[in-house]
């Protein structure tokens, strides 16, 4: 697949600079925050984008929500999970994200992933 926007090059650089999966994931959260703030589509939707630890209304340690974004027109909050995986994202990781955001202040959820989801994670009609 062509790398029109240099995304594959950026992901390869993150793999080289951050051999630890944890550190690579944290670095990827910064990339996702930047993207949500600068991309014409998402910057038109979100007025504010915070990493979890930057979000002024957080009420504890990060437990699966990596980024919080405020929607421009409604003021609603969106919980964002960033997944940097070489292979498929395990469904348990998605489940914990949904559980962390369920029944809380979040009106919507967004999953950003570098890989496919497991077949158990895909929603069907």
**Number of Cβ atoms within 10 Å of the Cβ of 34:** 11
Tell me, what's the pLDDT at 117? 67
Q: What is the pLDDT of residue 40?
A: 94
Calculate the alpha carbon distances from 18 to 34, 67, 91, 117 in Å: 18, 20, 24, 23
Q: Is the pLDDT of residue 59 over 60?
A: yes
Mean pLDDT of the chain: 82
Q: How confident is the model at residue 6 (pLDDT cuts 50, 70, 90)?
A: low
CA–CA distance, 9 with 16 (Å, rounded to integer):
11
Give the Cα separation of 30 and 73 in Å (integer): 24
The model's confidence at residue 124, banded by pLDDT at 50, 70 and 90, is: very low
- What percent of the chain has pLDDT above 90? 41
* Helical H segments across 18-90, by residue range: 21-38, 40-45
Query: Residue 62 — pLDDT band, cuts 50, 70, 90?
Result: confident
């Amino acid at each position: 697949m062509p790398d029109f926007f240099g995304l594959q090059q950026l992901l390869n650089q993150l793999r080289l600079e951050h051999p630890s999966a944890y550190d690579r994931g944290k670095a990827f959260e910064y990339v996702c925050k930047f993207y949500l703030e600068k991309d014409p589509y998402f910057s038109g939707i979100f007025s504010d984008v915070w990493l979890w630890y930057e979000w002024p209304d957080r009420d504890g340690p990060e437990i699966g929500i990596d980024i919080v974004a405020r929607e421009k027109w409604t003021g609603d909050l969106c919980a964002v999970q960033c997944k940097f995986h070489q292979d498929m994202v395990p469904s348990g990781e998605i489940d914990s994200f949904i559980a962390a955001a369920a029944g809380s202040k979040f009106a919507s959820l967004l999953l950003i992933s570098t890989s496919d989801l497991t077949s158990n994670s895909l929603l069907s009609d």
